[in-house]
């Protein structure tokens, strides 16, 4: 709709130039004023004339009527003034020569933008804690983060995806203690990360009986910080085991990263920033700890150093941000974490600003809601988690069972089952507004009816099937003959605008919900309109081309939300 709005805005601007030369408006401002009517029968877009009332010194209904009389454009079917609104309908000619032709011309670039060209975005997401399982609680940061990366790339940005691994901290002291007391090399080699998790859970269970274990863990981590050779060896081993498993999950999601620099990478980069804070008199002592007082900004103090001089998350995050700015010269640095960390990010963002870094306003926290399982919070230390690998395996198995029943001769069944099964989980998550808490219910996530990933992928496969059977497309005359054709093209026209909305709001659900809108419109068109059996050659060709445009748009949208294109199901 962006191009349609721009064209109509140019017509309205021409009217204003004649009626009120000193109006002071431009096409961009007029474009931003358009609204979508609550009902399609009221128009494709609506222009509210209330803001023009003061400028023109007339009532909104009079202004709407005057603009309606002045609009003469081949893109407009009709314009109706109603109660101060101007309801505008798109012409069939514009649907074919404008919308359909643009999709065909742009292909894989349809829906994309160029405003990000020459700019860099750094995205910090996924970032699991090493030696802990990749569970459903990690899904949010991973798929929201990667979707935002794809969206920004689609707008022309150069994107750097960073997996800021949690590879440092006292938990490694705990794991080292647990491994030496209750583990073995053979068990860890055979059990992988599952064995590491079991050891971690056992440590916490035993520490509740024997408090001295916690001090022993702190001692082991101190040795690790001091580069004890054996502890460094174990630490690196635990990281390798973890990454091997994580990469399997990332592979299933079609995600890769440009950097795996974790917390440990910044240990030698923190002293410079700490000294800078000291030099600027930002650090204050509070009961032996070093803090930055943020009371003036209605926030608790930001803790930079503990009493013993050890660093904390804010210290490492500040050092990482400075390193990323120096390395990538980002225009935006986006952090995708749970909403529970919002205060943490607000605090250290403010500290970066107080340190005089003029790029502090380029730091963006994108929060998302929590995930619970049947109402219970996730906790690694108690073992109350659903591992993503198990969740994906269950989904894939269910898809395989359905395929065996519905389409047993399908080629590449295993590959398709994985694409649909994993897609079902991802789409279920991204269909929700990111800030909402999710109570994860397995049966809802794996449902293959309604507004789901499998429904979307099946619709995509349906377009592929139609096109496989269709005659070669002829780029000649086109003819819209049914409301279903027109409505589908109008939905397809909204894709570039939806991409803008998703980027502006950092909200992938804008795209998943749009995908369902496209699927609903296409399936209505598919069931109510003869495509391959249409008697009129022009009508048949038009409907085949509309199908091809739907396939293109869906395919482009899938790539923005970690959903794989399935040509056959």
Position 380 scores a pLDDT of 47
Instruction: Tell me how many domains the chain contains.
Output: 2
- Which two tokens mark 558? 């899938």
429-471 pLDDT tens trace: 999 899 998 887 767 766 767 889 999 999 999 999 999 999 8
29-68 pLDDT tens trace: 999 999 999 888 889 999 999 989 988 989 999 999 999 9
Position 378 scores a pLDDT of 55
Residue ranges making up the domain that contains 32: 2-90
Domain boundary among 90, 117, 134: 90
Domain membership of residue 265 (yes or no) is no
The angle subtended at Cα 311 by Cα 304 and Cα 282, nearest 5°, is: 20
258-312 pLDDT tens trace: 999 999 999 899 999 999 999 999 999 999 999 999 999 999 999 999 888 888 8
Domain boundary among 90, 123, 151: 90
Domain membership of residue 453 (yes or no) is yes
Sequence-distant (≥ 6) Cβ neighbours of residue 257 within 8 angstroms:
126, 161, 162, 163, 250
392-409 pLDDT tens trace: 998 899 889 888 888 888
Position 508 scores a pLDDT of 98
Three-state secondary-structure class, residue 516: helix
Domain membership of residue 481 (yes or no) is yes
Domain membership of residue 111 (yes or no) is no
**113 phi and psi, to 5 degrees?**
-135, 170
Three-state secondary-structure class, residue 335: strand
Q: Which residues pair with 158 in a beta bridge?
A: 120
Find out whether 122 and 162 touch, Cβ atoms under 8 Å: yes
Q: For the domain that residue 58 is a member of, what is the CATH number? A: 3.30.1360.70
Domain membership of residue 12 (yes or no) is yes
Domain membership of residue 181 (yes or no) is no
Domain membership of residue 197 (yes or no) is no
Q: For the domain that residue 424 is a member of, what is the CATH number? A: 1.10.730.10
- Which two tokens mark 124? 């910090």
Position 387 scores a pLDDT of 80
Find out whether 466 and 544 touch, Cβ atoms under 8 Å: yes
Domain membership of residue 17 (yes or no) is yes
On the question of pLDDT at 159 being above 60, the answer is yes
Q: Angle formed by the axes of helices 388-406 and 413-430, to 10°?
A: 120
On the question of pLDDT at 97 being above 80, the answer is yes
Position 391 scores a pLDDT of 85
Find out whether 550 and 470 touch, Cβ atoms under 8 Å: no
Position 164 scores a pLDDT of 94
The confidence band for 78, taking pLDDT boundaries of 50, 70 and 90, is very high
Q: How many angstroms separate the Cα of 332 from the Cα of each of 152, 329, 368, 381?
A: 11, 9, 19, 35
Position 381 scores a pLDDT of 47
Domain boundary among 36, 59, 90: 90
């Amino acid at each position: 709709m962006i191009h349609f709005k721009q064209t109509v805005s140019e017509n309205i601007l021409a009217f204003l130039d004649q009626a009120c030369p000193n109006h002071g408006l431009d096409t961009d401002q007029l474009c931003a004023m358009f609204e979508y009517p609550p009902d399609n029968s009221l128009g494709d877009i609506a222009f509210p004339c209330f803001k023009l009332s003061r400028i023109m010194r007339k009532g909104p209904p009079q202004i709407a009527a005057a603009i309606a009389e002045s609009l003469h454009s081949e893109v407009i079917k009709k314009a109706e003034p109603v109660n101060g609104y101007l309801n505008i309908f798109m012409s069939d000619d514009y649907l074919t020569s404008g919308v359909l032709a643009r999709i065909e011309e742009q292909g894989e670039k349809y829906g994309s933008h160029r405003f990000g060209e020459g700019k860099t975005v750094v995205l910090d997401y996924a970032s699991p804690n090493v030696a802990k399982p990749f569970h459903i609680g990690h899904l949010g940061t991973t798929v929201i983060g990667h979707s935002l990366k794809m969206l920004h790339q689609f707008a022309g940005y150069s994107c750097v995806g960073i997996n800021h691994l949690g590879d440092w901290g006292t938990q490694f002291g705990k794991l080292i203690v647990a491994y030496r007391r209750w583990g073995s090399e053979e068990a860890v080699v055979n059990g992988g990360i599952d064995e590491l998790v079991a050891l971690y859970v056992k440590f916490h269970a035993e520490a509740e009986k024997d408090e001295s274990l916690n001090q022993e863990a702190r001692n082991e981590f101190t040795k690790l910080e001091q580069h004890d050779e054996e502890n460094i060896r174990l630490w690196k081993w635990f990281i390798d085991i973890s990454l091997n498993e994580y990469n399997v999950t990332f592979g299933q999601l079609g995600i890769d990263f440009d950097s795996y620099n974790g917390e440990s990478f910044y240990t030698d980069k923190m002293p410079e920033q700490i000294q800078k804070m000291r030099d600027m008199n930002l650090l204050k002592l509070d009961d032996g700890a070093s803090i930055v007082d943020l009371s003036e900004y209605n926030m608790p103090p930001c803790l930079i150093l503990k009493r013993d001089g050890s660093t904390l998350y804010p210290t490492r995050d500040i050092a990482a941000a400075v390193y990323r700015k120096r390395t990538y010269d980002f225009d935006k640095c986006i952090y995708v974490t749970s909403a529970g960390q919002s205060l943490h990010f607000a605090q250290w963002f403010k500290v970066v600003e107080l340190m005089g870094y003029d790029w502090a306003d380029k730091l963006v926290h994108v929060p998302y809601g929590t995930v619970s399982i049947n109402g219970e919070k996730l906790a690694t230390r108690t073992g109350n988690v659903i591992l993503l690998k198990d969740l994906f395996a269950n989904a894939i198995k269910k898809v395989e069972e359905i395929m065996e029943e519905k389409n047993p001769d399908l080629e590449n069944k295993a590959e398709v089952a994985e694409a649909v099964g994993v897609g079902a989980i991802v789409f279920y998550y991204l269909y929700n507004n990111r800030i909402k808490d999710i109570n994860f219910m397995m049966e809802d996530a794996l449902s293959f009816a309604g507004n789901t990933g499998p429904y979307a992928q099946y619709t995509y496969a349906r377009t592929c099937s139609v096109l496989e059977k269709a005659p070669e497309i002829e780029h000649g005359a086109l003819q819209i003959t049914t409301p279903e054709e027109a409505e589908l093209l109008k939905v397809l026209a909204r894709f570039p605008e939806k991409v803008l909305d998703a980027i502006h709001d950092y909200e992938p659900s804008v795209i998943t919900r749009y995908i369902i809108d496209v699927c609903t419109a296409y399936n209505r068109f598919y069931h109510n309109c003869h495509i391959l059996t249409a008697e009129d050659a022009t009508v048949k060709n038009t409907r085949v081309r509309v199908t091809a445009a739907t396939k293109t748009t869906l395919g482009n949208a899938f790539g923005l939300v970690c959903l794989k294109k399935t040509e056959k199901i």
